Structure 1
Amino acid sequence: MNWGTKLTIGMVLFMGFIITLVILMIKPHKADSLIEDDYYEKGQTYDLDYNARRDAQNDKMLPIIQPGAEAISITFPKPVSYTITFRRLADSRFDKSYQSDSTRAHINIPNADLPSGSWLLRIEYKGEERNYLYQDKILMP
């Protein structure tokens, strides 16, 4: 085998490597770096979230969150209907959501439902005909 054949084989292998990388870059991925699937739609309705967070502070309707040994305790100043979403930063398969249409002022969520690690907590709740929103990062032991 002479040097021309080796050069041609090396060039073909390199071109195959580059083409493989291009195909992998173009191919759509399910695991995107965005947290939300509807990221852009949520960005367009950001004002609603901002107003709900501001109303929660102004109306003194912020929940009190107390992690305990066996459960997370969430207490609202007044009974509300709610949707609580826990998003796992490391793996979205562990995301949890809790919802209630009946009005309650106190909620306990068992620690067994949430593995240890970092979580994004989002509480959307309605009290006295106003919508409120609370968001925070929590760390489960």
Structure 2
Amino acid sequence: MKFNWGTGIVIGIAAFMIFILQYVIRVQMDARYDNELVTEQYYQKETEVNSNYSKQQNANKLADAFQIKTTSQGIAIYFPKDFNPQEIKGTVSLYRPSNQAFDQTIPIELSSNYLLIPKSRLIDGRWDISIDFSYKGTDYLKQQTLHL
């Protein structure tokens, strides 16, 4: 067989295609490159967008009375002082974008208007926190990204 420009181009294209295919296969098989969904119930969450918007508007009306802060002890959540802590019901969801195994959902059970999530339950890095609670029939939702 005679080696010329056409043969070289075909061999080059074939080698490139093999390289790309082996790379795609390796990424799909290797657990280090896991492609996790943001949430398991993606479509259900998408249908809740309108109700979440009204909850977020309610939380925005609370302004500075409702805050989320990072401290040396962990994540501190301050509820409004005029709220009765026993009547606040809901959940705190902690989402770790880099690893789904660290995601947590914590029920809100308060004796004061302050909730502390200890740093011992969290690892350093980025956390997306979502606080969904109700007080006297009004629903609230606050979402924030924190870095520990």
After TM superposition, the score normalised by the length of structure 2 is: 0.69
Decide whether aligned partners of structure 1 residues 52 and 35 sit closer, same or farther in structure 2, where only a CA change above 3 A counts.
same
CA RMSD of aligned residues (A): 3.4
Matched, 1:106 2:114: yes
- Does the Cα contact within 8 Å between 1:56 and 1:62 map onto a contact in 2? no
* Same amino acid, percent of matched pairs: 20
After TM superposition, the score normalised by the length of structure 1 is: 0.72
- Does the Cα contact within 8 Å between 2:68 and 2:78 map onto a contact in 1? yes
Runs of 4 or more above 3 Å deviation = 59-62
- Does the Cα contact within 8 Å between 1:89 and 1:118 map onto a contact in 2? yes
- Which residue in 2 is equivalent to 1:45? 48
Shift in Å at residue 63 of structure 1?
A: 2.4
Decide whether aligned partners of structure 1 residues 59 and 119 sit closer, same or farther in structure 2, where only a CA change above 3 A counts.
closer
Aligned length: 133
> Which structure shows the bigger proportion of residues in strand conformation?
1
1:126 to 118, 134, 139: 134
Decide whether aligned partners of structure 1 residues 130 and 88 sit closer, same or farther in structure 2, where only a CA change above 3 A counts.
same
Secondary structure of residue in 1 paired with 2:72: coil
> Which structure shows the bigger proportion of residues in helix conformation?
2
Cα distance between partner residues in 2 of 1:82 and 1:110: 18
Structure 2 gaps, min length 5: 29-33
Cα distance between partner residues in 1 of 2:107 and 2:120: 18
**1:62-141 counterparts in 2 under 5 A?**
63-77=66-80, 78=83, 79=85, 80-100=88-108, 102=109, 104=111, 105-140=113-148
Decide whether aligned partners of structure 1 residues 69 and 58 sit closer, same or farther in structure 2, where only a CA change above 3 A counts.
closer
